[in-house]
Amino acid sequence: MGELDGQVAMITGGASGIGRATAVRFAAEGATVAVLDRDGEAAARVAQEVGGSAHAVDVRDGEALAAALRAVADATGRFDVLFNNAGTGDLRPLHTVDDKLWHRLIDVNLTGTFNGMRAAVPLMLETGHGAIVNNASVSALTPTRNEAAYSAAKAGVIALTKSGALEYGPSIRVNCVAPGHVRTPLTAVWEQFPEVFDPVARAIPLGRIGHADEVAEVVLFLASARASYVTGQTIVVDGGISLPQAGTDAALTQLLEKFSGA
């Protein structure tokens, strides 16, 4: 018996990365999965893989997203889980972020999550239950250099998560995951510059970059009955990189090895 047997789950940004990994995991646990993504063809491939449905939609379009969620709920007769996963990033100094880029990062990451929650809540209230999981980032908690706009948007996602938990319990649980360095299409650049990013992996207490499947496991937990008394929480999935002094510790370890061998 699967943890989501008979349930209907919808995933934004479900065509790749953490979204796809979660779609596969949800389906393996018995859920009927609706894959939503702005790339309709990629969404269709994942939907075929998991035996679900595909919907081409941009989360920035609140009306279109609401219509897609309603269509799935009407077709299946229920709506149990929403994973607000769609997101985008960028890397540049704050003062070089123009209005267009600022609004893209806010609109996709924060407004897209808001649009998903706003559309899902009435549908879940109709059935009297539901679980929403939002995808933030460890950068929402401990921003890194040149991620000001992205970090601000993801911090807003955490605030939305807490607000939703306060407003809609006990019927709806709302939680959040905050991934750290995880291999996805958004981090493909790491493969191109190993000399730059290998030290990052070494600085992570668990000693490696994470995998999308590992985040999907946490999303599944938060969506399932195992988390029946968990709401308003942000679960960090980062291998320990956000621990205080994690990077410094790695540097000091190398220095100790250097001088010990001298």
Bridge partners of residue 81, in order along the sequence = 9, 131
Task: Name the residue with higher pLDDT: 185 or 253.
Answer: 185
Cβ-contact 136, 89 below 8 angstroms: no
DSSP-based three-state secondary structure for 1: coil
Which tens digit of pLDDT belongs to each residue from 203-232? 899 998 899 999 999 999 999 999 999 999
Measured CA to CA, the distance from residue 135 to residue 115 in angstroms comes to 14
If one counts every other C-beta atom within 10 angstroms of the C-beta of residue 260, the result is 7
Cβ-contact 157, 136 below 8 angstroms: yes
Residue ranges per structural domain of the chain: 8-192+208-244
Nearest CA to 237 among 21, 9, 92?
Answer: 21
Is the pLDDT reported for residue 250 higher than 70? no
CATH 3.30.2130.10 fits 8-192+208-244, yes or no: no
Is the pLDDT reported for residue 189 higher than 80? no
How far, in Å, are 22, 85, 111, 225, 226 from residue 157 at the CA level? Answer: 19, 11, 9, 23, 23
Positions marked catalytic? 150
Which tens digit of pLDDT belongs to each residue from 92-123? 999 999 999 999 999 999 999 999 999 999 99
